[in-house]
Amino acid sequence: MEKLVACETCGLVQEVEHVPKGSIVKCARCHFQIFHRRPNSRARTLAFSIAALLLYFPSNYYPIVTADYQGHIIHTTIFQGIQGLWTQKQYFIGSLVFCTSLLTPALKILGLIFLTLTLNSTGWEKTRTWVYKIIRLIDPWNMLEVVLLAMCVSMVELGELATIHPGRGVFSFAAVVVLTLLATLSFDSRLLWDSPAERKHYE
């Protein structure tokens, strides 16, 4: 097995001896954490993905916005918002919102859970590569949500006509976004091509 590790922070190549379980390795120069493979990567990815999956349901079931138009209280979920955009003939924005807020988070969460759960089983290598490719492909599109939100706010411009309160859905959705981000960050793609023996060694 490789004994040399380059620090990702200061670039110092150094020797790493046997790492007992439950320990972390720190760079000799800059004291940042160094590793062969991201430590605890599988467990972390799984934990964050499961948390994101759990919160995905309330984020879509509960309203993201509660608008109070002079006594008319209107709850809007993400899906109702997409339907609204669609009926207003905003097809492009509608499908963009659908992709970035409904489709991609779900795909990403399920993909990461699939990867972490099947990592030790042989015969899935090709599928795993494909799943990881898809995750990499949709990852940057998730960032579009912020832009879309800004766009929607400027489009709606309700001003004094209505009072708008954030619903439960928006908090759950924010948590989903953060958790999927953490899950992708903690996934070490090198695990995909490690042999089971190597994986065992690095873990």
**Under rule CB under 8 A, residue 91 binds another protein:** no
Give the span between the Cα atoms of 198 and 203, in whole angstroms: 9
Sheet with 65-69, side-by-side order of all strands: 72-76, 65-69, 163-166
**Under rule CB under 8 A, residue 202 binds another protein:** no
Classify strands 13-15 and 163-166 as parallel, antiparallel or unpaired.
Answer: unpaired
**Under rule CB under 8 A, residue 162 binds another protein:** no
Give the span between the Cα atoms of 190 and 182, in whole angstroms: 17
Residue with smaller CB distance to another protein, 73 or 143: 73
* Interaction residues for another protein, span 1-40 (CB under 8 A): 2-5, 12-17, 19-20, 22-29, 31, 34, 39-40
**Under rule CB under 8 A, residue 110 binds another protein:** no
Backbone angles phi, psi at 165, to 5 degrees: -115, 140
Task: Report yes or no: 148 and 28 within 8 Å, Cβ to Cβ.
Answer: no
Residue with smaller CB distance to another protein, 23 or 122: 23
Nearest distance from C-beta of residue 16 to another protein, angstroms: 5
Nearest distance from C-beta of residue 105 to another protein, angstroms: 14
